[in-house]
Amino acid sequence: MARRIQARRLEGVDKNIWVEFVSLAAQYKTVNLGQGFPDFSPPSYATEAFSKAITDEHSLLNQYTRAFGHPPLVKALAQMFGPLFGQELNPLTNVLVSVGAYGALFCAFQALVDEGDEVIIIEPFFDCYEPMTLMAGGQCVYVPLRPKPADDGRPPSSNDWRLDLAELEAKITKKTKVLVLNTPNNPLGKVFDKEELEEISHICVKHDLLCISDEVYEWLVYDGKQHVRIASLPGMWDRTITVGSAGKTFSATGWKVGWAFGPDCLLKHLRVVHQNSVYHCATGAQEAVAQGFQKELERLGQPDCYFVQLRDELQKKRDWLYHCLTEVGMKPMMSQGSYFMIADISRFKSEVPPPTDDNIPYDNYFTKWMMKHKQLASIPVSAFYSTPHKKQFENYIRFCFVKEDATLKAAEKILKKWSSESTGPKAQ
């Protein structure tokens, strides 16, 4: 009998939206508003620190550092985030640095989810939560955010997408162990407000759930809204792992530095996964991120703080993209956070007819068509849904606006030309 090669835990997790769409975006030489990465440089003090770290001939920063996080980085993270969580953070026990937020999430899922455990995932969700749950032997239980358009004439907003708490609670069983939260949410840009988070936290406490809170876009919250960390709410610190990313914080996604915060009683298990998988992440990048936080700590919240400047720049880009998408009849949802905005593409159905294969969600077909025929890349929102729910949300695509103005203008040019040639209905 032929020997089975592939481990069973890989069943059903072989497809990956980023692998597929990054390659297509390159193949069609698109203007790329698809994958979420800035096409501009990180702040120069951070790139200089990185460069110095690896070129200084007396430096040991090309070598291994502490496995669970370079000492200056865990110290800076503890100093920066302790007050934000309302906790005195011990850099050695309450902070783990891993290979991007992906690495931190992987450690969290592997460390906390066991065979047969149920994991509540709020849809739409950053796609990796599903395979990470499955690879740990867990079962995904999905609870949807549903759009409830405002009746006061306001433009549609990501925050019109609400969670039905009764529905969430009804999905909890004796097997439920973890709830996964993502705020600001990718792909919607929804920022959960304090009341929503308090209600979610009451449910976590009542049912003794752990929470994995992915907050990689924590600094990118618009229109004066505040990012609230669920771990800072009563009863939540001891049951929450909060995940962050230097890639998103310092516009340096290629550096792959991410972290997890939490109580030692949870984090010690993540350290076991980390030490037995990646063990360590690039010292030079950690040093640069440490220096970045040291600098921003001194000017946190002030106009020259990088987090403030990036947020303000991105809010302008968001407004501009919203306007541009509206003009071509795409019906965007105003994003309240992150660097993504989704838009309804229903109006294009007459021009880009749905595929004959009913199993292919329309947005998936549409985004591929747009890459091939219009050289413009975006991401289908159905990629952020579980298989049974993909078709319900197949009329939205996601645009990324953390791009140079020249890139956004190139996208506008494509959209406007397309719109002027198109026969379908335009924006009202």
Interacting residues toward ligand IK2 by CB under 6 A: 35-36, 100-102, 126, 182, 186, 214, 216, 245, 247, 253, 258
DSSP state for residue 243 in the 8-state scheme: E
DSSP state for residue 182 in the 8-state scheme: E
The residue among 188 and 410 lying less far from ligand IK2, judged by its C-beta, is 188
CB of 187 to ligand IK2, least distance (A): 7
**How buried is residue 161: exposed, middle or buried, by Cβ count under 10 Å (0-12/13-18/19+)?**
buried
Q: Which residue is nearest to ligand IK2 (CB)?
A: 100
- Cα separation, 282 vs 91, in Å, equals 18
Secondary structure (3-state) at 65: coil
Secondary structure (3-state) at 387: helix
Half-sphere exposure of 191 (CA within 13 A, CB side): 23
CB of 379 to ligand IK2, least distance (A): 6
CB of 186 to ligand IK2, least distance (A): 4
Kindly give the pairing relationship between strand 340-344 and strand 118-123.
Answer: unpaired
Q: Name the H helices within 276-305.
A: 283-298
* Residue type at position 296: E
The residue among 196 and 218 lying less far from ligand IK2, judged by its C-beta, is 218
Nearest CA to 238 among 212, 273, 266? 266
CB of 1 to ligand IK2, least distance (A): 40
CB of 370 to ligand IK2, least distance (A): 16
The residue among 89 and 381 lying less far from ligand IK2, judged by its C-beta, is 381
Whole-angstrom CA distances from 144 to 7, 130, 205, 328, 338 are 31, 14, 21, 29, 19
Matching residue, tokens 């096409």: 39
The residue among 190 and 331 lying less far from ligand IK2, judged by its C-beta, is 190
CB of 325 to ligand IK2, least distance (A): 18
The residue among 133 and 186 lying less far from ligand IK2, judged by its C-beta, is 186
The residue among 144 and 337 lying less far from ligand IK2, judged by its C-beta, is 337
Longest Cα–Cα distance in the chain = 68
The residue among 65 and 242 lying less far from ligand IK2, judged by its C-beta, is 242
- Cα separation, 23 vs 32, in Å, equals 11
Secondary structure (3-state) at 163: strand
CB of 102 to ligand IK2, least distance (A): 4
The residue among 69 and 100 lying less far from ligand IK2, judged by its C-beta, is 100
CB of 126 to ligand IK2, least distance (A): 4
